[in-house]
Structure 1
Amino acid sequence: MRVLLVEDDSELARRLELALTEAGFAVDRAGDGEEAAELGETATFDAVVLDLGLPRLPGLDVLRRWRRAGRNMPVLVLTARDAWTDRVEGLNAGADDYLGKPFQSAEVVARLRALVRRSGGGASPVLSLNGLDLDPAAGVAQVDGHTVELTARELRILEYLMHRRGRIVSQGELMDHVYPMEEVRESNTMEVYVARLRRKLGRERIRTIRGLGYRMG
């Protein structure tokens, strides 16, 4: 899953990026409101962590701009403000969840996972499909009760496809959601990873829709 992290405190942003990356997210960062607004309008993210106290453009204005543009990705707002009126203002502007500073990085990760689950129409933390179970938080995949060893990248790809089970996912969409922007991407990389997943999970679990992409379920 690809996440946009918007935080102007470089040390806090570094810690959060590390925690999110270790949890299996592909992370892109923005350090001010203008950069965040542009990224949110031009790139696709599964979720956003958005600080409100940003230079150049306040976080609430960034959020309103995204929502006016029809950008509906889940947004977790971070803020040092304590007043309940500030929380209400953020939620009314289109935030999906709210976390006050100081906080633990693990809570940010857990809240993001919950937001992604809800946006995909799911409630359980474990994704299940025809005998295949994936626990993204634990990084564990099982086929008919037997654990299958997957790399971090394979887990990311599988999680994205399972969140969109029943839908066709193009190679381009899949790459956009499992790689951060600055990482080099090669055209045949996704085919290699999908082939590995098929060998480990069973060829029938990930179907190729010729000329369109991949589908699970």
Structure 2
Amino acid sequence: MREERQKRAQAEKIQILLAEPDAKVAATIEAELEAKGFAWSRAATSEEVFLELNFGEFAAALLDAKLPGRPVLEVIEVLRKRNITTPILLLGEEADSQSRIRAYEKGADDILPKPSVAAELSARLKALLRRRSSAPPWVRSVEDLEVDLSARRVFRAGREIALTPREFGILEYLLRNQGKAVSFEALATDVWHQPERAKTISNVVRVHMASLRKKIDCGRPIKLLHTMRGYGFVLRSGNR
């Protein structure tokens, strides 16, 4: 009976995936997690991280930036393309701004240099969980693109992007139909509200779309807005 209660109590704790190859560092992190009431599972390689986050249920993941196996950022990128939204705190050496930006663009939610104080790590982890649990339903995100539908504000990699009302209307429509091809006719009807001009308005749509793509995707390694030749457009995660 006592063992059953202990198992049940463990299962009810917030589950964290920990991937840290240094046994001493891992032990310190585990002690901190236990002290703060978290439960954890271990992964030894980036491949194990991939499998655990694909098929397990974790509130967050703490990943060393140099795990054995595939590059960790590649694994994170693939997970995000699969719409795995588990918050990821990346642990690694002090990085320059470009390295940090690349990590954020690949899908990391936060970065903490090593060595770091265990208390700061748990504080960062709690902040990630708090942000995730409090995210309002009117905020939509794809990769590092975040759109506040209520305030009509758009951010990419944390930087705000100014859109015209028409550009925001197109982006909102594509976002609500994420992954689906949207025709010129649909945009003419639902964004321009001119279904009778569906055939003649396509050039106007293209001009606005080109401007929107430049603002959202220009200079980004991951493109989100794609043309479906002869049909329309699609917003989807990744460069497929």
Answering whether residue 32 of structure 2 is matched by residue 36 of structure 1, we say: no
Unaligned runs of 5+ in 2: 1-13, 136-240
Matched residue pairs, number? 123
Give yes or no for the alignment of 1:20 onto 2:52: no
Aligned to 1:82: 95
Q: Distance in 1 between matches of 2:99 and 2:93?
A: 10
Q: Which structure has the larger Rg over C-alpha atoms?
A: 2
Match for residue 103 of structure 1 among 116, 139, 148: 116
1:13, 1:60 → 2: CA distance? 20
Encode CA deviations 1:146-182: one digit per residue, 9 max, x unaligned: xxxxxxxxxxxxxxxxxxxxxxxxxxxxxxxxxxxxx
Paired position in structure 2 for 1:5: 18
Write the distance in 2 (CA, Å) between the matches of 1:17 and 1:62: 23
Q: What is the TM-score normalised by the length of structure 2? A: 0.49
- Superposition misfits of 4+ residues, deviation over 6 angstroms: none
Pairing 1:26-175 to 2, within 5 Å after superposition: 26-121=39-134
Q: Distance in 2 between matches of 1:65 and 1:50?
A: 15
Partner of 2:219: none
The SS at the match of 1:28 is: strand
Shift of 1:81: 4.1
Once the two structures are TM-superposed, the CA of residue 82 in structure 1 deviates from its matched residue by 2.1
Compare relative contact order (CA 8 Å, sep 6+) and give the higher one, 1 or 2. 1
The CA deviation at 1:86 is: 1.2
Query: Alpha-carbon deviations, 1:16-54, whole Å to 9, x = none?
Result: 111111110011111111111111111011111111111
SS in 1 for 2:70: coil
Q: Secondary structure at the match of 2:127?
A: helix
Measured on the aligned residues, the alpha-carbon RMSD in Å equals 1.5
Shift of 1:58: 1.7
Question: For residues 9 and 58 of structure 1, what CA distance do their matches in structure 2 show?
Answer: 17
Q: Deviations over 1:87-133 (max 9, x none)?
A: 111101111111111110111100000110110117xxxxxxxxxxx
**Aligned residue identity for 1:66:** L
- What TM-score results when the alignment is normalised by the length of structure 1? 0.54
SS in structure 2 opposite 1:70?
Answer: coil
Q: How far apart are the structure 2 equivalents of 1:82 and 1:96? A: 15
